[in-house]
Amino acid sequence: NAGVMQNPRHLVRRRGQEARLRCSPMKGHSHVYWYRQLPEEGLKFMVYLQKENIIDESGMPKERFSAEFPKEGPSILRIQQVVRGDSAAYFCASSSPGQFPYGYTFGSGTRLTVV
């Protein structure tokens, strides 16, 4: 069981570029959550998705950020026109119904640096 896979591990973007972060959930998991960890801050919830559905995006910034979890393939967190303040570690977690909290598993994160 490969666990939750996130790639890339590190991503450097210039201001104004787009960043795409990928998350493949654990085998058998149908729920994906994205969190952001800013420097010196705790993890903050961004969005919760199931296959082809955004269930809760209450933590997503209103502009430039979007997420999807297609029927096939990984979940994608997309940040358009990145700014320096987007520099952070982005973690995704996956779970299955009825397995909370013990089955709620985090990936190793993508560290985004905006220069």
Q: Contact positions toward other proteins, by CB under 8 A? A: 4, 31, 33, 35, 40-45, 48, 55-56, 58, 91, 95, 100-102, 104-109, 111
> Between residues 8 and 16, which has the closer beta carbon with respect to other proteins?
8
Instruction: Give min distance, CB of 21 to other proteins, in A.
Output: 13
Read off the DSSP letter of residue 84.
Answer: G
Rounded Cα–Cα distance for residues 17 and 107 (Å)? 24
Rounded Cα–Cα distance for residues 69 and 50 (Å)? 7
Rounded Cα–Cα distance for residues 48 and 50 (Å)? 7
Instruction: Give min distance, CB of 38 to other proteins, in A.
Output: 10
Instruction: Give min distance, CB of 16 to other proteins, in A.
Output: 27
Instruction: Give min distance, CB of 91 to other proteins, in A.
Output: 5
> Between residues 87 and 108, which has the closer beta carbon with respect to other proteins?
108
Burial 1-33 (b: 16+ CB within 10 A, else e): eeebebeeeebebeeeeebebbbbbbeebebbb
Helix (H, G, I), strand (E, B) or coil at 86: helix
> Between residues 14 and 62, which has the closer beta carbon with respect to other proteins?
62
> Between residues 66 and 105, which has the closer beta carbon with respect to other proteins?
105
